[in-house]
Structure 1
Amino acid sequence: MARILVIEDEANIRSNLLRFVRLEGHEALEASDGDTGLQVAKEHLPDLIFCDVMMPRMNGMEVLAALQAEPSLKQVPLIFLSASAESERLEEALRLGASGYVTKPFNFAQLQAVLKQYLPK
């Protein structure tokens, strides 16, 4: 069982992601903004992070930069979730160290593929 952190400011999306994570048999951690998400990550050391890009207090790119600066969190795969499918934003996220990028609306098959790719067997 992996520990997965969901950082998402929209309550309905966060709730659906948490339900998905639990149905897949993993421990689900949550945060409603980037600043809280960073604190949860530092405290619980997740195996994977799903993170929205556009959030209050600290956006996803800022969360990624802060994670990259933490030795204990630098290797944790971070998958961005965003309604924006702009190729420039995707390229920037990957260049800065994100492991992947899923555009909203997403489906559970896409998320299952992410889990299969980034979690240990």
Structure 2
Amino acid sequence: MTKILVIEDNNLMREMVLEILESRGFEAVGAENGQVGIQLAIAQIPDLILSDVRMPEQNGLQVFAVLRSHPATASIPFIFMTASDMQKALELKADGYLQKPCSVAEMLGTIATQLEKPTASNPQHQKVQDNSAPSNLGLPARNRKSRFEIASFCWQ
């Protein structure tokens, strides 16, 4: 099962993203700030990281720098989610960016794009979880709507 770490200090936002990811067949893990996010990333080695930029303890830009410098986490796809610091995020050359607010479809599309890319540590690796992208979900899961899916979920 594909594991995604969500680093977001807004409790409601983090819980909504986790619920959406879990409803799509991902294993989703949440961190309430950058410091906890770094610890979880190193301990659990997720397949992908979604991170807010503005957070206490360590912001997303600092989290990105720390994880890129750590051998075990350097090649994990990293997607920034931000409402106001997009220029700073773009300068760091992360793997993806989501401008808040964004739709569930935009988030899932960005995740799917990153998971389908070969990784630097294993160029032969391709996404093998058939249930990880919305287009590959079985009919019941695809038709099941999250209670949060009606509105855009990414806001500040």
Structure with the higher fraction of residues in helix conformation: 1
Task: Output the TM-score relative to the length of structure 1.
Answer: 0.91
Amino acid at match of 2:98: V
Is the 8 Å Cα contact of residues 96 and 114 (structure 2) preserved in structure 1?
no
RMSD: 1.2
Structure 1: where are the runs of 5+ without partners?
Answer: none
Aligned to 2:137: none
Which residue among 89, 96, 101 is the counterpart of 2:97?
101
Task: Please give the TM-score of this superposition, normalised by the length of structure 2.
Answer: 0.72
Residues 75-108 of structure 1 show CA distances to partners (whole Å, capped at 9, x for unaligned) of 000100001265x3243132xxx10110111110
Q: Identity across aligned pairs (percent)?
A: 38
SS in 2 for 1:4: strand
Of structures 1 and 2, the larger Rg is shown by 2
**Conservation of the 8 A alpha-carbon contact between 2:82 and 2:99:** yes
The 8 Å contact of residues 85 and 103 in structure 1, kept in 2 or not, is answered as no
Q: Return the alpha-carbon distance in structure 2 between the equivalents of residues 76 and 31 of structure 1.
A: 16
Work out the CA distance in 2 between the residues paired with 1:116 and 1:68.
Answer: 21
Give per-residue Cα distances to partners, 1:40-59, cap 9 Å, x unaligned.
Answer: 00110000000000000100
